[in-house]
Amino acid sequence: MTRDSMSDHELDRLLALASKPAPPHGAEDRLIAKISLENVVAFRPKPKKVQSTISWIAALPLAASLAFGIWLGTAGIGTDILPESLGGDAVAAADVDVISGIDEAETLAEDNQT
Instruction: Examine residue 91 and state whether it is found in any structural domain, yes or no.
Output: yes
Which pLDDT score is estimated for 62?
92
Tell me if 23 sits within 8 A of 31, measured CB to CB.
Answer: no
Instruction: Examine residue 92 and state whether it is found in any structural domain, yes or no.
Output: yes
Which pLDDT score is estimated for 109?
74
The number of folded domains in the chain is 1
pTM of the model: 0.32
Averaged over successive runs of 10 residues, the pLDDT of the chain (114 residues) comes to 76 88 89 77 81 84 92 78 64 53 73 64
The whole domain housing 86 covers: 74-104
Instruction: Examine residue 99 and state whether it is found in any structural domain, yes or no.
Output: yes
Helices (H), the chain: 8-17, 27-37, 53-75, 89-96, 102-111
Tell me if 79 sits within 8 A of 91, measured CB to CB.
Answer: yes
